[in-house]
Every structure is written in C-alpha cells, then in structure tokens.
Amino acid sequence: MTPRLPGAACALIPIDDGDTHDPWAGVAFLRAHVGRFGARVMAIVAGAAPDDAIGDEALRAGADDVWLVAHGVVALPVSTDVLVDVLARAIVQPGVVPGSHEGGLFLLPAGAVGEEVAARLAARLDGVPLGRCLAVEPGPQGLTVRRAAFGGRVHASLAAVAGPWFGVVRRPEISAPAGVREAPSVQRMQIEVAPAQGGFVRHSAVERREAPLAGARVVVAGGRGMGGEPGFARLRELAQCLDAAVGGSLPTVDAGWMPVTHQIGQSGKYVTPELYLAVGISGTPQHMAGLGPQVRVAAINKDAGAAIFRNAEIGLVGDWREALPALIERLQSIATNGRKA
Amino acid sequence: MNVLVLLAGVVDPKWPLAVAGGVEVRAVSPDGGLRLGPFDESALEIALKLRDRHPDTRVDVLVCGGPEHDALARQAAAFRPTRLCRLDLSPAQRWSARRVAAALITVIDAPGAAPDLVLIGREFGDSDDGMLPPFLAEAWGWRFVGMVQSVARDEDLLVLRRERGDVDEAIHLPAPVLASVTNDRSNRLRHPLMKNLAAAKQAMIEVLPVRAMEEGEASLALVGAELAPAAASSRGHCRLLSAGSAADLDAFAQYLAAWTQRS
C-alpha cells in the first residue's frame, strides 16, 4: 500500500546551541527515512544571524530547501524560549512549509535543547510529541514511530495518525545518498523576538574540570565500582595518557563524583568516540544506550561475568586499584620509548 | 507556597522484561517490579528541601498510574505529603502526552490548592524519554525549566539552578513554574523516618479517576513492542585478559596505546 507521506519533512536546527553537537542529524534522518520516497527535505535553521555558509552546509547535509531564520539574539547559552517562539512563527509563516504545517513532520537533533523545543512546539502548534525516534515509517494512515522505552530495554512502535508531529533524532547509522536534487533553494527571513517577561537568568562561568565529551576520540568512563573521588582521580591520570575525555555512569553523578554534564547513558549524554574504555561499569542497557553503535568498547571490571564484557572487544578482569596504576606506568613507558625512537 | 510532585515510577532494572501479545510489556517479578525512578526521587527530594527551609511550603504528591502504583504511593507517603493522590492513568494513556496533559489539568486547576511549582522527573516513567514535561508546561501555559538540579526561594521568586555547558545557570522566575528535575548529588532522596515508614503503610491514597479514552482519541498509541535487540555484532567476542598477569597487562596497555598513535 502506498504510504501517505507527511505534508512536509522538515528538520529544525538551533544552529547557535553549543550543546547540539550534530545539528544536521535531522536532515540526515529525514533523507534516510522519508527522502527515499521522493519527499523533499526541508531545513529551518534558527540563529542570531545564520549566513550563506550555514545555508551551504544545510544543502551539503542533504536538505533540498533551506530557510535561514535570523532572530538577532546573541546571548549564549541560547534561550529555549527564544527558539520555541522563533521556530513556531517560522513554521506557520505562509510560504515556508509547503501546503500547511498541519501534516508536517518536524525533527530536531537529540539532546536536552532539542527535546524541550520539539515538545513545546508540539503543544504550541497542536501537534504530537513523538519522543526520541529510532525510525519513522510513513504509512497509509499517518506515521509509525519506533523508539526506545523502559530504559532502552524495549523498542516500542507507536502509531500517530494526525500531525503535525515533532520529535528528536540522532544521525542514522546508514545515511541515504543525497542524490540529484531538483532546484535546491536557500531563503531567508528575520523574526524579531519580544523581550522576556518576568524573571531573569544569572550565569556564572564555571571552570569545568572535565574536557567535553563531544568530539573526543577516546572516552574513559567510570562507574559505581570506582568507589569515590580517589578512583576518578586515577581515572583522570589514565585518561591523560590516552588524551581522552572522562565521563561517568548515572550512579557516579548521584554520588557527586562526576557532574551531570558528563553522565553517559540513556538519560545522559550520547557519545560516539572511536574507543570507549569502561572502568568499574557493569554495562546495563541504560548505560550502553549512551554509546553509538560503531564505538569500540574496552572494559576493566573485577567481575568476569559483568555484562560490559559482552559489549566489549577486549577486557581486563581485575580490580582497578591494581590495574590502573600498572596500565598508567606501562602507557607512560610506551610514550617515553616512542619519543626516544 | 504549594509544591506538587508528579511521580511515575519505573520497572526496577533488576527485573527482566517480557512482552505479551506483542504489545504489553511486563516485569517478570512477583509484584510488578515498580519502584521510584532516579528522577522521581530527585523531584521529591527538592520538594522536601523546600519544605525544610520554608515550613509554610505545602508538598502534595501525585502518582500517575493504575492500582499497581499504590505501593509507590505508599513509599512517597513516608515523607508526609499534605495530600497524596493517584491519577488513575492506564498504561495506554501514558503514551499520549496530550492525554496526560488533559488529565493532569484537572488537578492543576483545582481551586484552593493550585500549585505554584510542579516538580517532575526529566523522564517521566518508562514510556517517556524527556518530552512529556516540557509538553505539559506549554500545554498549560506555564513557564518551563528543564534539567533542574536544585530549587530555592528568593522572596517572591523561585530560583532554579542547573548546569548548562560551561556555565551554571540560576534562573529566577515568578510562579507558576514547571521544572523537570535531573539527578544530582544535592538531590539524592533521604531515608524516611522509621515511624513515618510504618504510618505510610496505612496512608490514605486519594484516587482521581480518569475518563477512558475514546477510540482514536490517543494522539500516540502503542501498537507494538519487542525487547531491544542485543548489542551489534561489531561488539562482543571479547578477548578477556587478567590484571593478575604481567603479560596480559602489557597486551592491554599496547591495545590502548595504539589508539593514541592513530591519527
């Protein structure tokens, strides 16, 4: 049966948001899941002043039609109130979304900002919040969405008959080729933002101890088994040998050993390093949901039966208290010999 | 100030799951396996801290779910909320954010006890991955602050704190506010007093009925479920080494060192 395609397939991009590490994920997702049916993929890019280079980037990412929406608000971190206001007004502007937005599928990049903006747009525009979509399948009567539930242990299929639909996505594992696109377009609009009513925000810059997880080639993460701050101090020494970023599982944040900005897992950051070294982490599905599918995993755990080893390509069974100092010494020796050679 | 804490519960991860009829997800446990989730606990602790500091703070608790959630409600009762309710939402209804928002608005708008602050976990139960709280706020016309780690009062303003990238934000807002709460060292749920635990077993839970959904009313309906597939084949087949062996430690170190040498 012929699927009924959404009226519009549109990626919404908060281009100035520093916490959105893959702004074009929605474009790639739509190209893979909807573009294959011949639908055009739109991108609405909202920022203080998105320029031509951003427009070109959107086209290279796979968008057919791009709207650059300038709102002029330069303060960072970007306000989600501003993003919701600007994107809602852009979506309903005549001539932006072909036909009407009411049958449209709108996707933002996964992350705290994307999830909030998508949900609030759904409420504001009488739409349906889809959640974090693993797959979207147009059908004869609307969409079927697949997403994780029960802490990542279940994949649920959800039917959404009437749009508009708003969700968040990560870049799909397999990208669809952009192919030859007819008449790609880049257009611009300006939307003025009204000053915020009531309340204010104070920011205090904090010197973060941890290097950012996003973009790290190697991530070293500690779990409950690290036992406390001294364990993480050792972990940081190891991470330094590997030029790695440091993260932690949910229990380590609860315990105050790691900041919530470095929590990895279903309810934390999603990381895609080349190598992920898990130390004292049992390997629950909730934690593993924070790793990209192509990530190579190594693990250190004193329990040979720990689930983490079923997800790893190499593992060291033993107590980190002995293993980490031994590894640090060896890595420093390798580095020194390498410099002498 | 009136604070309303919304609790959903999650299936304790220690219990395996099974899918019945291709749709219904159940914990393989003797009693349903529900417990307060980490974000439920954080939301409750923030409310309790506000009450500690400001004795004029009223804390109401609303558990969203069917009779299987009564045990959860009794856990919350041990912290002596002023009002303890259960909103009788079915599992099917909990998938539809619109349905949840419509059912909750009757509580939010109740005369005499309308909340100034609603606290809800950043993920609300097993069927939500973070979009329900901001949807609720926007649907009600409330201010929303997500990923909150602590809340304080500053005269007639609420001060909601969170980490965001390279900054700590202190957001000062007038009520009403809906805040989704994330886990933090400062909001780990305390242990209840033993005497309150005992009293909680007899606690009265006020059940608020919810109209059954009409056919086609759900904006999002669960039509299938399956246990998540095992990890990708690129993982697994683990080469296991022993930290007690010098040769194995050498091999592991060489494996790690190879990553620092790649360009």
User: Running DSSP on this structure, what letter comes out for residue B82?
Assistant: S
Chain A residues with beta carbon closer than 8 angstroms to that of B129 = 115, 131-132, 147-149, 266
CB contact (8 A) between residue B138 and residue A330: no
Burial of A134 (0-12, 13-18, 19+ CB in 10 A): middle
Mutate to test the interface with B, among A141, A145, A254 (most CBs of B within 10 A): A254
Confidence of residue A293 (pLDDT cuts 50, 70, 90): confident
Nearest by Cα to B83 from B95, B93, B73: B73
Chains A, B: CB contacts within 8 A come to: 282
CB contact (8 A) between residue A260 and residue B130: no
Chain A residues with beta carbon closer than 8 angstroms to that of B241 = 314-317
Whole-number Å distance between alpha carbons of A15 and A213: 19
Q: State the ipTM, two decimals.
A: 0.92
- Does position A83 have pLDDT exceeding 90, yes or no? yes
Chain B residues with beta carbon closer than 8 angstroms to that of A145 = 220
Q: Tell me the Ramachandran region of residue B165: left when phi exceeds 0, alpha when psi lies from -120 to 50, beta otherwise.
A: left
Its pTM stands at 0.90
CB contact (8 A) between residue B163 and residue A259: yes
Give the gap in angstroms from C-alpha A82 to the nearest C-alpha of chain B: 13
Give the gap in angstroms from C-alpha B47 to the nearest C-alpha of chain A: 17
- Among B10, B171, B256, select the one facing A331 at the smallest CB separation: B256
Q: Are B228 and A152 contacting, i.e. CB atoms less than 8 angstroms apart?
A: yes
Whole-number Å distance between alpha carbons of B16 and B10: 13
Burial of B168 (0-12, 13-18, 19+ CB in 10 A): middle
Whole-number Å distance between alpha carbons of A116 and A107: 12
Burial of A173 (0-12, 13-18, 19+ CB in 10 A): exposed
Give the gap in angstroms from C-alpha B186 to the nearest C-alpha of chain A: 8
Instruction: Summarize the confidence of residues A47-52 as an average pLDDT.
Output: 95
Confidence of residue A339 (pLDDT cuts 50, 70, 90): low
**What's the mean per-residue pLDDT of chain B?**
90
What are the pLDDT digits (tens) for A187-216? 999 999 987 777 788 877 776 677 889 889
Query: Which residues have a Cβ under 8 Å from the Cβ of B248 and sit 6 or more positions away?
Result: A316, B241, B242
Mean pLDDT: which of A7-11, A100-104, A232-236, B11-15 is highest? Answer: A232-236
pLDDT of residue A16: 93
Identify the helix (H) or strand (E) that includes residue B49: helix B38-53
pLDDT of residue A178: 61
Query: Which residues have a Cβ under 8 Å from the Cβ of A273 and sit 6 or more positions away?
Result: A216, A217, A218, A219, A244, A245, A295
pLDDT of residue B29: 92
Instruction: Summarize the confidence of residues A151-179 as an average pLDDT.
Output: 86
CB contact (8 A) between residue A155 and residue B225: yes
What are the pLDDT digits (tens) for A223-234? 999 999 999 999
CA triple B61-B65-B70, angle to 5 deg = 65
Burial of A26 (0-12, 13-18, 19+ CB in 10 A): buried
Chain A residues with beta carbon closer than 8 angstroms to that of B25 = 149-150, 154, 156
Whole-number Å distance between alpha carbons of B22 and A128: 24
Burial of B197 (0-12, 13-18, 19+ CB in 10 A): middle
CA B138 and chain centroid, separation: 19
Nearest CA in chain A to B132: A119
